[in-house]
Amino acid sequence: MDSFVYFALLTIVILFLLGTPLCVTFSIGSIAIMIHVMDFPVGNISQIFFTTISGYPMLAMPFFIFAGNLILSSGGMGHLRDCINRLVGHLPGGMAVAICIFAAFLGSISGSATACLAIIGTIFVPMMAASGYPRAFASGLAVTSAGLGAVIPPSVFMIIFGASNRISIADLFAAGVGPGLLAAALMCLLTVYLSIRRGYSGGAKASLALRLEAFRKAFPILLMPLIVLGGIYSGVFSPTQAAAVACVYSLALGVLIYKGITWKVFMDALVETVRLSSMIYFLVIGGELFGRVLGYVGLPQMISQWVIDLQLGPTAFLFAVQAMLLVMGFFFSSFPMVVIVLPLFLPSATALGIDPSLYGALAVFCAIIGEVTPPMGPQLWIAAPICKEKIGNIMREAWAFLGVQVLALILVTLFPQISLFLVHFVR
């Protein structure tokens, strides 16, 4: 290998360790290698910039982010919270169980773990603290359950992974439903167990009339995942079209029904969407350039050969990759893992007969768990000021829920039909 390649790769590592923005880190070294070693014309590199982000599937990402920002500002979150709380609030630790259900539902309308954390930390954590729950427990549950928002479709991470690697986004969405709901169910069971053990009691049981009233107020927002995901799986529209429909529906809810969207709220949501989407697009461009360099170096082929030499079967391979991704999650945030690391193992997964949508769903889930594990754990740094709790206290309560999420990963790996049943049904 050319010595210049080693120098450029070392530059990428140094820039990464210095905290340089990831899009700059991956792009500088990659462009240098492509020009000086791979003999890429500069005009072709600029073309890569355009083709990477102009694909039709990639358009779904900013639309879903915008829809999530609108629905979270629509004024309907309080009604959704009351509906779920009146349904399960009487159980031992009922308010904590409501967080898990609320997070799972938020995942089906926002697709962003950070957005879910902001809403849960703002709405539920103060309520739980006022009801006698330790704030650390409420915060640990909030930061881990928010990750369900990036696993249960529509998921921004799955859109990026699918669009970058030419995998059906609809299949990835379908493959994420089983693991996400299983993790939510296991977290609910663990919450009930911990609440009984620690003496966290539930609230008064709501009457049928109160439940029906709360359901009536929350019904318009409850329809959103049925319209969006039902439209995708029934073939009425594509994921990108579904994202546009979600924007229109969210805007209609916020303006006509819940009346929480003003012109200022609308513009704030639009600006936040542009800011986040731009960051993701630049990161995807850097990942595409770096991926071409890794392909030139032959790293994916090395990994495939490593799998062949170890004679790993599909299940053992998935476990090995998951263990590697979970360890990497301690030191890397999820975006570079989804853009750079996950595609490296995709050729080996395909060669072993593993459905790409299953691999993608499980790998994205691993990356999301890494969002909470220290010392990197960006979700922890976001949760601390929102939940008004120290990071150490949050992490102490979060470990049990992370363990349950890892258990969900193990169960889906051993019984892949948990994830693939819906994929096979909608294909």
Question: Which pLDDT value is given to residue 111?
Answer: 65
The stretch 110-118 carries a mean pLDDT of 73
Cβ atoms of 325 and 337 within 8 Å: the answer is yes
Percent above pLDDT 70 for the chain: 97
DSSP letter, residue 340: I
Distance CA 137, CA 397 (A): 5
Sign of the CA dihedral with 160 first, then 161, 167, and 171 last: negative
Question: Which pLDDT value is given to residue 186?
Answer: 93
Q: Two tokens at 141? A: 């549950």
Structure-model confidence comparison of residues 112 and 45, the more confident one: 45
* Pairs from 194-197 (Cβ < 8 Å, separation ≥ 24): 194/93, 194/137, 194/400, 195/92, 195/93, 195/96, 196/92, 196/93
In tens, the pLDDT along 299-334 reads: 777 777 777 677 788 999 999 889 888 888 877 777
Question: Which pLDDT value is given to residue 426?
Answer: 75
In tens, the pLDDT along 57-104 reads: 778 888 888 888 888 788 887 888 888 888 887 777 787 888 888 888
- Please say if the pLDDT value at position 34 is more than 80: yes
Distance CA 115, CA 128 (A): 19
Cβ atoms of 308 and 348 within 8 Å: the answer is no
Q: Two tokens at 49? A: 């910039």
* Count, residues in the chain: 427
Confidence of residue 230 (pLDDT cuts 50, 70, 90): confident
In tens, the pLDDT along 129-151 reads: 877 788 888 888 888 888 887 78
In tens, the pLDDT along 351-380 reads: 888 999 999 999 999 988 888 887 667 777
The enclosing H or E element of 130 equals helix 113-130
Helix, strand, or coil (residue 139): helix
- Please say if the pLDDT value at position 202 is more than 80: no
Confidence of residue 407 (pLDDT cuts 50, 70, 90): very high
Confidence of residue 404 (pLDDT cuts 50, 70, 90): very high
Q: Two tokens at 99? A: 């967080």
Ramachandran angles phi, psi of 416, nearest 5°: -65, -20
Q: What's 343-410 look like in SS3?
A: HHHHHHHHHCCCCHHHHHHHHHHHHHHCCCCCCCCHHHHHHHHHHCCCHHHHHHHHHHHHHHHHHHHH
Structure-model confidence comparison of residues 249 and 3, the more confident one: 249
Angle at 162 between CA 156 and CA 163, to 5 degrees: 90
Sign of the CA dihedral with 414 first, then 380, 327, and 111 last: positive
Mark out the alpha helices in 298-355 (DSSP H runs).
299-310, 314-328, 334-336, 342-351
Q: Two tokens at 73? A: 């500002």
